[in-house]
Amino acid sequence: MERNIAIEEISDGNTYHSRDVVAMGCNDCAGCSACCHEMCETIILDPYDIYQFELALSQSLEQMLSNNLVELGYMDGFILPHMMPVLSEDDEMPHCSFLSPTGRCGIHAYRPGFCRLFPLGRYYRDGSFTYIHQIHECHYPLEQRTPVRIREWLGIRMLSQYEDFVNEWHYFLKDVDGYFHMKEEGSKEKEHICSYLLGLFYGVPYDTKQAFFPQFYERLNQAKKELSME
Ligand code: SF4
Ligand code: SF4
């Protein structure tokens, strides 16, 4: 989800790289699962998240949708999957379908990039991105937060390849969005492209015995060719 907002309004005003240390440690979220209640519909899943879910659950997107684990929604003009909010009998508010009764993430090792990131955000500029610390988002007292290196916070293997992927995906969608802006609202071609991208990057299951990144770039090249964006 892209927001056009001054970083000083939502963060400590600094930008960071994965090697940097940020005072964001929140005691391992002990006793708090606010994020998993409040943010489901804004936890947009990218193709790497879907690959991780396929690895963890051995389910395709279609199966995840029919099992009410994720749902589709419009985001920035695209149809993209996001976490599914569910309401159990005793709940006062909906929570993520993966939240356990003890308030912990039931898919922690495979959790989506946005869950790993929070309360960090990504600040995209000039064809790349840096991290920002959204200091007002986490409920843990600001003065008690402990220093953590971003690389460790994210806990993603092959982080530089992952960051390259995040960047490629973001700017690819941005380019397609630019193309959409030249089209009329509700145009059939726009609808067709949205469905095509959803099917190509999410709908066709990834081979979880193979690495994700080569499969992603193969699909990206295919999409660029199809959309004449090479
Ligand atoms: S995937 Fe895990 S961390 Fe993310 S919202 Fe759901 S329960 Fe919380
Ligand atoms: S609000 Fe902060 S402490 Fe609570 S679940 Fe989210 S990151 Fe953890």
Give pLDDT, residue 229.
Answer: 76
9 found inside a domain: no
Ligand 1 site residues (CB inside 6 A) read 35-36, 43, 83, 96, 98-99, 105, 107, 111-112, 115
The tokens for 52 are 């991780």
Confidence of residue 2 (pLDDT cuts 50, 70, 90): low
Is residue 182 domain-resident?
A: yes
Give 171's Cβ-side CA count (13 Å radius): 13
Q: Is residue 148 part of a domain?
A: no
Higher pLDDT, 229 or 97: 97
Alpha-helical runs (H) found in the chain: 7-10, 34-38, 47-57, 61-66, 113-117, 150-154, 159-180, 188-198, 212-226
Q: Which of the residue ranges 82-91, 184-193, 197-206 would you say has the lowest mean pLDDT?
A: 184-193
For the CA of 43, the nearest atom of ligand 1: 5
Q: Average pLDDT in the 196-219 region?
A: 98
Give 35-89 pLDDT, tens digit per residue. Answer: 999 888 899 999 999 999 999 999 999 999 999 999 999 988 899 999 999 987 7
In a domain, 133, yes or no: no
Among 24, 26, 146, the mutation site with the greatest number of ligand 2 atoms within 8 A of its Cβ is 26
Percent of the chain scoring above 90 in pLDDT? 77
Residue 192 within any structural domain of the chain: yes
What pLDDT sits at residue 212?
A: 98
User: pLDDT digit string (tens) for 92-151?
Assistant: 889 999 999 899 999 999 999 999 999 999 999 999 999 999 999 999 999 999 999 999
CA-based nearest residue to 58, from 224, 182, 207, 220: 207
* CB count in 10 Å sphere of residue 192: 10
- Averaged over 205-225, what is the pLDDT? 97
The reply to whether ligand 2 has any atom less than 6 angstroms from the CB of 35 is yes
pLDDT at 1: 62
Q: Indicate whether 89 belongs to any domain.
A: yes
Mean pLDDT of 3-7: 74
pLDDT of residue 10: 83
- pLDDT surpassing 70 at residue 230: no
Specify the number of domains making up the chain. Answer: 1
Closest ligand 2 atom to 30 CA: 3
- pTM over 0.85? The answer is yes
pLDDT mean over 200-205: 98
The predicted pLDDT at position 90 comes to 75
- Provide, rounded to the nearest whole percent, the portion of the chain with pLDDT above 70: 97
Mean of the per-residue pLDDT values for the chain?
Answer: 93
Nearest protein CA to atom 3 of ligand 2, as residue: 29
CA of 63 to the centre of ligand 2 (A): 29
Query: Domain residues for 71?
Result: 27-118+157-226
Determine the residue of 35, 95, 148 to mutate for testing ligand 2's pocket, defined as the one with the most ligand atoms within 8 A of the Cβ atom. 35
In a domain, 130, yes or no: no
Comparing CA positions, the residue from 173, 211, 180, 118 lying closest to residue 2 is: 173
Rounded distance, CA 97 to CA 115, Å?
14
CA of 99 to the centre of ligand 1 (A): 6
Residue 18: which pLDDT band, with cuts at 50, 70 and 90? very high
Determine the distance separating the centroid of ligand 2 and the alpha carbon of 133, expressed in angstroms: 13
Nearest atom in ligand 2 to 27's CA: 3
pLDDT digits (tens, 9 = 90+) for 159-175: 999 999 999 999 999 99
170 CA to centre of own chain? 11
Report the distance separating Cα 22 and Cα 137, nearest Å: 15
Does residue 53 lie in a domain region? yes
Cβ of 108 closer than 6 Å to ligand 2, yes or no, is no
